[in-house]
Amino acid sequence: MSIQIGLLSERIEIGTNTRYAPLAALSAQYQSQDRLKPLENVDIGMKTVRYSPWSKLQQVLLSILSGCEYLVEVNSYLKPECALAQVWRLERFADQSMLSRTLDRLTLTNIEQLRAAETAIWRQTSRVRRHDWRGYLLLDYDLSGLPSGKQAEGSTKGYFSGKKTSRDAS
């Protein structure tokens, strides 16, 4: 699948625009590498009418990645996004009620299968697994935005959502 991302000077045919272009690119990457294939191992006892149970699990993940705090937001955020759905080879996304019913059907065994699938997914993509453990792994938990000085290892000026922090703050 070939995805082209760019700015348009005028709005073109409905269904070819998406406000989730970065998510569409990430989705295409996931599709090309079968990143979410482990979700197929979650055996939910449901029949497939339009969407398979694992497709609905993928759509729940996409709802999280698209910024939905609650599943009810799927209807207003994801459902109208035909272009993003086409990246996943879907005509359109499922209704939030279908996603909720799928999550309601999860048993304790399914939750364990889901955990195993999630672990398999992050192991494929995690950079921590490829880290050279002879050296240190640096994690920066400082979210204050305070200047750290030019001598600080790996320091760069970052963006902190328009917040200004005075230099004498501690």
Q: Three-class SS string for 19-43?
A: CCHHHHHHHHHHHHHCCCHHHHHCC
Amino acid 25: pLDDT = 85
Residue 1 lies in a domain: no
If one counts the domains in the chain, the total is: 1
Residue 68 lies in a domain: yes
Residue 58 has pLDDT above 50, yes or no: yes
Residue 38 lies in a domain: yes
Residue 146 has pLDDT above 80, yes or no: no
Q: For residue 26, what are the domain limits?
A: 21-130
Which residue has better confidence, 145 or 63?
63
Residue 36 lies in a domain: yes
Residue 6 lies in a domain: no
Using pLDDT thresholds of 50, 70 and 90, give the confidence band for residue 98.
Answer: very high
Residue 27 lies in a domain: yes
Amino acid 113: pLDDT = 94
